[in-house]
Every structure is written in structure tokens, then in C-alpha cells.
Structure 1
Amino acid sequence: MVVLTEPDIDHLPIIINSCKSPSFFNDIPVIDLSKPDSKNLIVKACEEFGFFKVVNHDVPMDFISKLESEAINFFSSPLSEKLKAGPADPFGPADPFGYGNKKIGQNGDIGWVEYILLSTNSEFNYQKFASVLGVNPENIRAAVNDYVTEVKKMSCEILEMLAEGLNIHPTNVFSKLLKDEKSDSVFRLNHYPPCPDIQEFNAKNLIGFGEHTDPQIISVLRSNNTSGLQVLLKNGNWFSVPPDQNSFFINVGDSLQVMTNGRFKSVKHRVLTNRVKSRLSMIYFGGPPLSEKIAPLPSLMEGEESSLYKEFTWFEYKKSAFKSRLAENRLTLFEKFGAS
């Protein structure tokens, strides 16, 4: 049985180019969603970090615990059983959903990770997971739906606060893309088993999930109380984010960077392995409909400011990102000539 709820005592065995300044943790943007001035703090956090933590959210803890329990049970199953819940086409855009192990994408990226990838807006065959666990598929479906519904609600609230802080009207300019019935949002559960003996692996294999930015509009992360997440600071150093199982971490995605014409930056992040402890993370990726055109909002263009990006559809960007390596700057192909 994988134990995921013990206190985080042991730290990562190896941290590469780490920024260990203790003052930075105090400076990590922490947004209290119950406070009326949060909208301006969210804007500042997106401008300066592209990353922040939210507290006093309304996501019920029992929804979190129930889904985490189902995930622990699944990931604790024999590999031969878990593979039965794999996608029809692990490396194809047609059906990437289901269970995956170590291989990330189609271009050779490898991580010390296993995962479940689900679409939030289409029917998924939960029977594949239920047969592994020996439970009713409706129990799993309900656990996922309850959690995703609440996290999506919180995501839309944050995006509307962002729009209000930017003086954009209507304030649902971002959130309506997630609420659209054709929204291409996905949900991912990542499990990072302990790396048994890191001395046997070279540096690249110490990576649980390689450095990357998220292509969607917004990412909402919740993890158990185990270290591993690192974000890239503006000074080029990696910072290990202290775990907090009671809060959520929010990432600006590439699409939001484009819509704000670079005012917000999608943050590069990664996950390192842990020698002794498992890490479970649950991520909601809020994405627009496939046909949605992504471009800087005219209301955010000041004076003679020009667009830094060519207009593209989410389908075009998703297809391009799917073909890239994790660490590549996926927006480069969509920057206008001369864009920084």
C-alpha cells in the first residue's frame, strides 16, 4: 500500500540549480479567495510569477479525500492490471486518455511517473478502472465528477477575478471558455513512486516530470504532502515549492500568456523524484474549445502596442504542442517577427 499522508520530513535527495533563499517562500503569492482585494493580488501574482497558491477555497475536503483514495488504490494495483486501463493510442491525439507509465508524449520524454489522463467533457470508459479496482464504475465516475466540478468552479472564479482586476468587461471573457460545453479541458492524476536508488540513474532520470509550461489557459494543482514541485524563477534558478495538501497551486498557461499579450507569463515547472516517499498530484487543465481563436485581447493593448503573437486556434496550438518536446518553448512558432 502506498502511504501518502504522512508528514513531509525527508526532502529531495538532489536539487539541481536550486534557489534556497528562505525569504522566497514568504514572498510566494498566497491568495485568500475570501478577501475582497484578491483580484488585484492575483493580477500581480500572474505578472510577477505566473504562479500562486490559493487558500480559503470552497472545494470540499471530502471530495479531495475520496478521489485521492480511489487513485491510491488504483496506483497500488499490479502494473499488469493497470495497463489494462491504458489508452487506445498512447501517442496519438485521437485517444490519449487512460493509464500511462513513464513515457510522456510521442517524442521521447521519459519521467519517473505513472498517470491517468481524463477528458472532462466527454464520456470515458470508467469500467477500465473499475475492473482493476473491483468496484462499481459509477463510484469512480462520481468521485472524478465531484472533484472536477468544484475545481472548475474555483478556476472560473479566479479567472473572473483576474478579468475584473484587469478592468476587462465582461468579466467572463476567460471563464466562459472553460464553461463552454465544448471546452477542451482535461484532468490528470500523476503518481510519482519513490525512486528506489537514485545513484543507479543518471541526472535526467532523476526527473519525475520534465520542465515544461502548460499550454492551456489555467492549471489548478493539488498534491499530497510530499516535496517535488519546482518552479523556474526569473533569475534562472529552480525553487522547490513547499508542499501544502490543504491548498491549491495555480499556473498561468500559454494561452493566457497570449491573451494578455505577454503581460502574464506561463511558468516553467518540473517535478523531481523522491527517494523514500510517493507523491500524488491532481491537476485540472482549463482549456478552450478546439475551434476557439487565441489572440491578445484588444482591451489589453495599450496605445500603439502591437500584438506579440499571431492568431491561432486552440486546435492548432494543441496539435503543435503535442508534437514538441516538453522543454521546448511552444509559443515560438506563434510569435510575430521581432517579438521578444
Structure 2
Amino acid sequence: MVVAASMKIEKIREDIELPIIDLLSPERSEKIVKACEEYGFFKVINHGVPQEITTRMEEEAHAFFSKPGSDKLRAGPPNPFGYGFKNIGFNGDKGDVEYLLLPPTNSPHHHHHFFSKFISSDDPNKFRCAVGEYVAAVRELASEIVNMIGEGLKLEGDGAKVLSGLINEPNSDSLLRLNHYPCCSGDSTESKIGFGEHTDPQILTLLRSNDVQGLQISLEDGVWVPVTPYPHSAFCVNVGDVLQVMTNGRFLSVKHRAVVNSYKTRTSMAYFAAPPLTATVSCLPGLAATPLYRSFTWAEYKKATYARRLGDNTRLNLFKLLPPDHE
């Protein structure tokens, strides 16, 4: 049992493990679809992202978060990219976390001034290259996963490539977020909230973290399931709100949060695969005769998301279509 910031008593279930899917398995597509339907989360191994690329990104993240606070603050505030501490978003949410939001493209010239001036006074080009290599690798992995989803859903024609097309657009609104969660202070045995409960608004999230537990998902109200970091080489993947809409509610965008603990700091790297701002979000062709949600642009939904606090997951209700007897 833990007591959250709101002092609400909650239940922790440790008897549930997320599916681990081998991307070299012949049944990978079907397993991914099943995991998206049942959990909204899964882990992937044999994913093809070179370990050296991940290691370089982890080392650069560690080096940045190890800098003195005054140096890190030079890279903030996050508007829209940069360093943030404690404050999450623009609506008063707070957590025991410091983070770095990085540009959504791997172009070697994109935001060069941003990297050079703020991120690394020692070797800004090294940091920028590490980000570019990592983003390129995880974007390719995200594209492969959504293509497998298309296979598993038995989408035909252009429908099978819609999702990967949105992710690979040059003006995609995808984002890389580096999070650093400190140890709890004092002798308290209660878990503290590092990043409050929320769903991810984008298409898909790919997460890597060090070997420290902290991610929890909620498959039912008031019940939280800790996600183990094993196996260390795996990526944790979760469905975003946009993918829930595009699968007409068949896939679940599940609430999750991060807690901090007393024995070790935790660092995570989250790649949020998103469409371009002008892209239209709607049910994928051939999936449903009657859509549950109206069409909208990613910019429209992103604005609705940023207008709400963490834990307010009602934004999708704004885009639901009323049943015929309510029209």
C-alpha cells in the first residue's frame, strides 16, 4: 500500500507482469495487438536499436543531470524545449523530477544554437550527435512497431502505413524527454510521486530507463501495477491517446505514473512518437463502421491536453461522438 500526494489509499498489485515481445518472433504482430488491447503497455526485445547508441545517450543524460543546478538552469525553462525542475507543465502540477525536453528531429543542424549554448559547455556537438543518433534509432523502431500493429490488425492498402507515415513525416511533432528522479529524503517508507498519473497524448511512447523501478500503470481505478525494469535491454512501449482514437478504442491508452524511492536515483528516456501538428486524427480505414470519436487535428488535441492538469484524463471525452439517440 502507498499513500499518494492526495493521501488517498491505493492498492499495489505486484502479481502482474507486462508481456515481453520478441520482435524476431513470427507471432510478434498478434502479440503486440493483444498486449495493446489488454494492457496498453508491453516490452520489446531484439528490437534492433544498437546498445552503443543507447549507452551514449544514457551517458550524456547522466552528465547533464550531474551538472550544478546553476548550469542546468541555463537550459531552462522548457518553452517548449529545455530544462525543467519540479514544475510539470503550465497548470500547477509538481513532482520530484528534473527533466530535459529535446527537439523532435534528428537533423544535425536543427536547433544547433540550443544545444551549443545551453546543453553542454564541454562538447555540445557530442551531446547533439548522441541525441540525433538515438532519436533516429527509436523513431525507426516506433515505425516498425506500428507497421507490425497494422499487420496484426489486418489493415489493407494505405491503412497499414498510415501510422508509420505520420511518425516519419519531416515535420512530425515527436519529442524526446529525459527524466531524472532523485532518491527520497529521510527515512519515510512511503513512495513519493515523481511524475503524477496521466496518459500520453501522442501515438506511441518508447521508454528506456536504468535498472531502477519506478514506473507504475493503472489497469483499474485505485490499483497500481509496478513495472519491473527487467530485462534491462528492453524498451517499454505504451499506447497513446491518438492510437486509442485511431483504433476506435480497441487499444487502451492507460494511466501511468512514476514514483521515486530511497535507494537509488532513476533516469528514463522517453520518445513520444507524434504526428505533425496539421495531421488529421481519425479511425483507421477498415477498423470500424461507426467511429467513437470525431476527427480532429493533432494541434487541436495537443492544445486540449496542455489546458488540463495531470490526472485529468477527460480530454478524449471532448472528441467523442454522441450515440444516435443523443443526436
Secondary structure of the 2:286 match is: helix
Residues 23-77 of structure 1 show CA distances to partners (whole Å, capped at 9, x for unaligned) of x22xx21110011210000010111111000011111111111111111111111
What displacement does 1:278 show? Answer: 0.4
- TM-score, scaled relative to structure 1: 0.87
Match of 2:203 among 205, 211, 217: 217
Q: CA deviation at 1:198?
A: 6.6
Q: Measure the CA separation in 2 of the matches of 1:298 and 1:82.
A: 46
Aligned-residue sequence identity (percent) comes to 49
Q: Deviations over 1:155-190 (max 9, x none)?
A: 100000000111112321110001011111000000
Q: Which residue of 1 aligns with 2:125?
A: 138
The answer to whether the 8 A contact 2:2-2:11 is kept is no
1:46 has 2:65 as partner: no
In structure 2, relative to structure 1, the CA distance for the partners of 1:160 and 1:101 (3 Å cut) is same
> Which runs of 5 or more structure 1 residues have no equivalent in the other structure?
1-11
| Structure 1 pair 235–81 and aligned structure 2 pair: CA distance change class (3 A) | closer
Match of residue 337 from structure 1 = 322
Asked if 1:20 corresponds to 2:13, the answer is yes
- 1:118 paired residue number: 102
Pair 1:324 & 2:308 matched: yes
How does 1:4-83 map onto structure 2 within 5 Å?
Answer: 17-22=10-15, 24-25=16-17, 28-83=18-73
SS, match of residue 194 in structure 2: strand
Q: Distance in 1 between matches of 2:166 and 2:39?
A: 23
CA, structure 1 residues 255+327, in 2 after alignment: closer, same or farther (shift >3 Å)? same
Measured in 2, the distance between the counterparts of 1:198 and 1:149 equals 42
**C-alpha separation in 2, matches of 1:58 and 1:197:** 41
User: CA–CA distance in 2 between the matches of 1:167 and 1:249?
Assistant: 24
How many aligned positions are there?
Answer: 311
Superposed, 1:154-173 pairs within 5 Å as 154-169=141-156, 170=158, 171-173=160-162
| 1:276 and 2:256 correspond | no
Which secondary structure state, in structure 2, belongs to the residue aligned with residue 174 of structure 1? helix
SS in 1 for 2:165: helix
**1:13·1:274 contact (CA, 8 Å) conserved in 2?**
no
Looking at structure 2, the residues matched to 229 and 255 of structure 1 have their Cα atoms a distance apart, in angstroms, of: 21
- Structure 2, unmatched stretches of 5+, are none
Letter in 2 for 1:221: L
**2:277 aligned with 1:290:** yes
Name the SS for the 1:149 alignment partner.
helix
Q: Which amino acid in structure 2 is aligned with residue 62 of structure 1?
A: E
- Cα distance change on mapping 1:14 and 1:279 into 2, 3 Å: farther
Structure 1 residue 243 displacement after superposition? 1.2
Per residue, is there more strand in 1 or in 2? 2
1:7 maps to: none
Change beyond 3 A, Cα 1:251–1:106: same
Cα distance in 2 for residues equivalent to 1:97 and 1:250 = 23
Shift of 1:80: 1.0
For the residues of structure 1 that align with 2:129 and 2:214, how far apart are their CA atoms?
29
